[in-house]
Amino acid sequence: MAVTGKDLIELGFEQGPELGRAIETVNALGLEGQALSTWVAANKPAPRIKLQENLGYRFNLEAETEDEVDNVAKVRATMDVLMRTPTLVDGAVMPDACPAGPEGTIPVGGVAVARNAIHPGMHSADICCSVMVTEFADAEPQDILNAIHEATHFGPGGRPNGMRFTMSPDLYDAFRGNAFLNDKKILQAAQEHLGTQGDGNHFAYVGRSEATGATCLVTHHGSRGPGAGLYKLGMRCAEGYRTKLSEGVKKQNAWIPADTEEGEAYWEALQLIRKWTKANHNALHQRAAMIAGADVRERFWNEHNFVFRKGDLFYHAKGATPIDPEMLPDTNGTQIIPMNMAEPVLLVRGAVHDGNLGFAPHGAGRNMSRSAHKRALEGRTDQSVFDEETDGLDVRFYSGNVDVSELPSAYKSASAVQAQMKQFDLADTVDRILPYGSIMAGDWERDAPWKKKAAAKRAARARREARS
């Protein structure tokens, strides 16, 4: 009689994706009795790691207004589910936290500490999203803003041929030597995307230091195409382990065991993506300095979407600023927290303690979705909202179209986030860069060919309907 799944489960084979194949094999071999038991003992997969219960985390967030009550409840709910992931040993929430996907997904403003595991879904798709500051010796803010406007590139894709920056040959070779990054699309994007900032809330911001009056340039972007490519491959690899190793773990919380060949290659790939992203900021700052003919006094940066390592613990930050020098190989001790285009960029220093796990907020965060923000502005033109919210500032959209979802009202109150940063002793503000102006991608999709085609179709349909 044919061996069934039930027979195998009774002999100790766990329910799971390997069961079907095992049934086929034992039947093909015609195993029964002791021979079958011996085969099951030798071939049953290791027991699956189950979800854990009741792991606490640090909650550095309070609702200040009615609008924020719902946001705080959602952040708690998603953290409660996230912390059941069996690799996690600690976690923290920053004052700028907001949900970022289905329940159980690490929120923006979240920190998750895993033992011996790298979770690609917890550093987010925009690996190494980061901020860099250059302080100039003697320059006017307007000249620096004009210079970065000329130097940078916002919007989808890369720079056109003939307008590209050169990727360091050593870094290119290191990409080729890594099992994840030696990928045609990643290598191509690494060359074409250097010197680009993408879209969404990435920006180039210029202002003056409150402490010294020096003009400063701040850029915000991540690892563009190369990082997106690595994220995709990392998630695919982690998914293989999730189905093999664990039970009940959400897809977005899959992990790559750090002590495997793949884990080591992924860790190395993250470090190379970090180097590429730093080079990307640097290229733009250097080009802007050259165009403006300005001398650089200081330059520093930090990432806020990344994985940091201490021994076998992997600190995943999705929108959290590391303040622990142990996590930052190239820090001068000062970290950067932007708020919105009309507010100062904070320069902070902090001390590690039990409540912050070595992190501070990374911004103001959103307490409503982009569409809810659009609904809240219904009846007003984009231009009127822009005029009101950027009064006195030199704010430019690279595509020429205002993106209202990036205006200051789209973000939480900057002062409330700063008050909570103080209340929870997350970091101290040591200087502020007061806004002169900034550049963002803007709503480039409004003029995208597919949008124009769809609009033309709608107009033609309306004309036909009017005639009939």
Ligand X SMILES: Nc1nc2c(ncn2[C@@H]2O[C@H](COP(=O)(O)O)[C@@H](O)[C@H]2O)c(=O)[nH]1
Residues forming contacts to ligand X in the complex (CB under 6 A) are: 96, 108, 129, 201, 203, 205, 304, 319, 338-341, 345, 362-365, 406, 411, 438, 440
**Partner from Mn ion, ligand X, none binding residue 323, C-beta < 5-8 Å depending on class:** none
- Return the number of the residue (167 or 395) whose C-beta is nearest ligand X: 395
Nearest 5°: phi and psi at 285? Answer: -65, -40
CB neighbours of 216 closer than 8 A, spacing ≥ 6?
133, 134, 135, 136, 206, 207, 208, 209, 345, 433
3-state secondary structure of 285: helix
Cβ 126 to Mn ion shortest distance, Å: 7
Q: How far is the CB of 124 from Mn ion (least distance, A)?
A: 9
**Other Cβ atoms within 10 Å of 2 Cβ, number:** 8
Closer residue to ligand X, CB minimum distance, 132 or 256: 132
With CA atoms as reference, report the closest residue to 2 among 39, 29, 21. 29
User: Closest by alpha carbon to 373, among 429, 344, 412, 318?
Assistant: 412
Q: Which does 117 bind (CB under 5 to 8 A by kind): ligand X, Mn ion, none?
A: none
- Closest separation in Å from C-beta 130 to Mn ion: 7
**How far apart are CB 198 and Mn ion at their closest, in Å?**
10
Q: How far is the CB of 397 from Mn ion (least distance, A)?
A: 18
Q: Parallel, antiparallel, or unpaired: how do β-strands 203-209 and 428-440 relate?
A: antiparallel
Q: How many CA atoms lie within 13 A of 142 on its CB side?
A: 3
Residue ranges that bind Mn ion, judged by CB under 5 A? 129
Q: Point out the residue whose Cβ comes nearest to ligand X.
A: 363
Token couple for 312: 């076998």
- Name which of 82 and 336 has its Cβ closer to ligand X: 336
Please report the DSSP string for 49-90 in residue order.
BPPP-----EE-----SHHHHHHHHHHHHHHHHHTTSTTEEE
Identify what 93 binds: ligand X, Mn ion, none; CB under 5 to 8 Å per kind. Answer: none
The C-alpha atoms of residue 382 and residue 259 are separated, in whole angstroms, by: 51
With CB under 5 to 8 Å by kind, the binding choice for 61 among ligand X, Mn ion, none is none
Name the residue nearer to ligand X (CB basis): 151 or 345: 345
Tell me whether residue 224 or residue 242 sits nearer to ligand X (CB atom): 224
Q: Which does 158 bind (CB under 5 to 8 A by kind): ligand X, Mn ion, none?
A: none
Q: Which DSSP letter does residue 362 get?
A: -
Is the Cβ of residue 230 or residue 410 nearer to ligand X in the bound state? 410
Distance, in Å, from the CA atom of 287 to the CA atom of 166, rounded to the nearest integer, reads: 12
The entry of ligand X, Mn ion, none near residue 350 (CB within 5 to 8 angstroms by kind) is: none
Angstrom distance (rounded) from CA 382 to CA 374:
10
Binding partner of 338, given ligand X, Mn ion, none, CB within 5-8 angstroms per partner class = ligand X
Q: What DSSP designation does 233 have?
A: H
Closest of 310, 276, 266 to residue 118, by C-alpha: 266
Q: Which is nearer to ligand X, 11 or 419 (CB)?
A: 419
Asked if residue 418 lies in contact with residue 102, where contact means CB atoms within 8 angstroms, the answer is no
CA 337 to each of CA 312, 327, 365, 413: distance values in angstroms, whole numbers, following the listed order:
28, 17, 11, 14
The identity of residue 41, as a single letter, is: A
Nearest approach, Cβ of residue 73 and ligand X (Å): 20
DSSP-based three-state secondary structure for 186: helix
Nearer to Mn ion, 22 or 417 (CB): 417
As a whole number of angstroms, the distance between CA 233 and CA 255 comes to 12
- Asked if residues 111 and 94 have their Cβ atoms less than 8 Å apart, the reply is yes
225 binds, among Mn ion, ligand X, none (CB under 5 to 8 A by kind): none
Strands annotated E in 319-358: 320-322, 335-337, 345-349
Residue 320, binding choice from Mn ion, ligand X, none, Cβ under 5 to 8 Å by partner class = none
Smallest distance from the beta carbon of 212 to ligand X, in angstroms?
Answer: 19
Closest distance between ligand X and the C-beta of residue 367, in Å?
11
Closer to ligand X by Cβ: residue 284 or 341: 341
Nearest approach in angstroms of CB 439 to ligand X is 9
CB of 56 to ligand X, least distance (A): 25
Nearer residue to ligand X within complex by CB, 221 or 242: 221
Q: Which does 438 bind (CB under 5 to 8 A by kind): Mn ion, ligand X, none?
A: ligand X
Which is nearer to ligand X, 23 or 106 (by Cβ)?
106
CB of 374 to Mn ion, least distance (A): 21
Which residues, listed in sequence order, are joined to residue 354 by a DSSP beta bridge? none
Q: Which partner, Mn ion, ligand X, none, binds residue 256 by CB below 5 to 8 Å per kind?
A: none
